[in-house]
Amino acid sequence: MFLMEVNEAKELRVAPIKNGTVIDHITAGQAFNVLKILGLSSDVPNTVTALLRAPSQKQKFKDVVKIEDRELTSLEINKIAVIAPEAVYNIIRDYAVAEKHAVKAPDTLIDILRCGNPNCITISGTKWSKEALEGKPWQPKEPVSYKMKRFIDKEQPNKYIYECHYCERRIEDNLMEYLL
């Protein structure tokens, strides 16, 4: 069986999956980050298809990821929502879409994003603390969960800004760098 074929209209078609998940409308350029979030690498036993910069009516371009014989956890969905807020995931069973859902990051993210402030109480005593980054010995403090609030960017309604609950440091770019 061919995984891809070109039809008479010269369109490239990707073979359907029997069971698994299709993540559609991923922000263009984020497919590899989605694969990283899902922990998928070259040694994965299932078929994984990544379609990059596909034309889209909703967005100018989009990425698509198909994973055979795998359904996503709620934590994975929340992490994907951080980097691709317009993504939609489909659960496929017997070659048909059994469920279709839009991803949506919760208003408050707990232990999904870390704060970018090296002096924040959530960072003290971790590998991201100021002391650790400077190569100095550090002592763990009391454990505090990472807690980020989600805001909609007023200038770009499809973009979110995340603010630390404790120190109010905001992060909005390079979100993959802050995902736990």
Q: Which domains does the chain possess?
A: 4-102 (3.30.70.140), 106-180 (2.30.30.20)
What is the enclosing helix (H) or strand (E) of 20? strand 20-27
Closest C-alpha to 48, from 56, 60, 38, 59: 38
Q: Please, which pLDDT band fits residue 14 given cuts at 50, 70 and 90?
A: confident
Q: Please, which pLDDT band fits residue 132 given cuts at 50, 70 and 90?
A: low
φ/ψ of 49, rounded to 5, equals -120, 130
pTM of the full predicted structure? Answer: 0.80
Helix (H, G, I), strand (E, B) or coil at 128: coil
Mean of per-residue pLDDT scores for the chain: 84
Q: Residues near 156 by Cβ (< 8 Å), separated by ≥ 6?
A: none
Q: Please, which pLDDT band fits residue 29 given cuts at 50, 70 and 90?
A: very high
